[in-house]
Amino acid sequence: MKQHKINIEYTELDTIDELNNEDAYLVAKAREVANSAWAPYSNFLVGAAVELSNGKIITGNNQENAAYPSGLCAERVALFAANANYPNSPVKTIAISAFNKNGQVVEPVKPCGSCRQAILESEIRFEKPIRLILDGKKHIYIVDGISNLLPLSFGKNDL
């Protein structure tokens, strides 16, 4: 029997002011669009802003439904809209921000498993890693590539 350990890497910042202008703008867009999320059941408002290689920024927010499986997360709303409208432009960066009844979440919001898989598929599609900026009131994490959040992932080579 062999035991293995998986390590991930990410950068931690304390405030949005530590980001470069381009990344700070993307986080601001994610925060902005979170405020118009449709989340009447959870009151957990999530916004995502996707920057494409062509410079376009596509936003999305979570869309809840009383039949819970029918809703969709902000990350996939933005990512799918980007891929549908700009099918030849890889995603460079995705910023994600969230708010609850107390305001902005304290710790950086992280994508759910389904969103991580969708981000992986976009990386596979364009053969390029996607930077993730995970926004929180106390910290901001920057993750270079979804493999840092989805080790031992399932992709096209596993079929």
Tell me the pLDDT tens digit for each residue of 1-18: 999 999 999 999 999 999
Residue ranges with strand state E in 14-56: 45-52
Domain 11-152 of CATH type 3.40.140.10: yes
Bridge partners (DSSP) of residue 103 are 100
51 carries an active-site annotation: no
What is the average pLDDT value for the chain, to the nearest integer? 95
Contact (Cβ atoms closer than 8 angstroms) between residue 135 and residue 97:
yes
Tell me the pLDDT tens digit for each residue of 73-112: 999 999 999 999 999 999 999 999 999 999 999 999 999 9
Q: How confident is the model at residue 153 (pLDDT cuts 50, 70, 90)?
A: confident
- 3-state secondary structure (DSSP) of residue 145: coil
Q: Express as a percent the part of the chain with pLDDT over 70.
A: 100
Q: Which of 12, 32, 64, 75 is catalytic?
A: 75
Q: Which helix (H) or strand (E) holds 99?
A: strand 91-100
Query: For residue 41, which phi and psi values (nearest 5 degrees)?
Result: -95, -45
Domain limits, the chain: 11-152
Q: Which helix (H) or strand (E) holds 141?
A: strand 140-144
**What's this model's pTM, rounded to 2 decimal places?**
0.95
> Residue 98 has which token pair?
């969230």
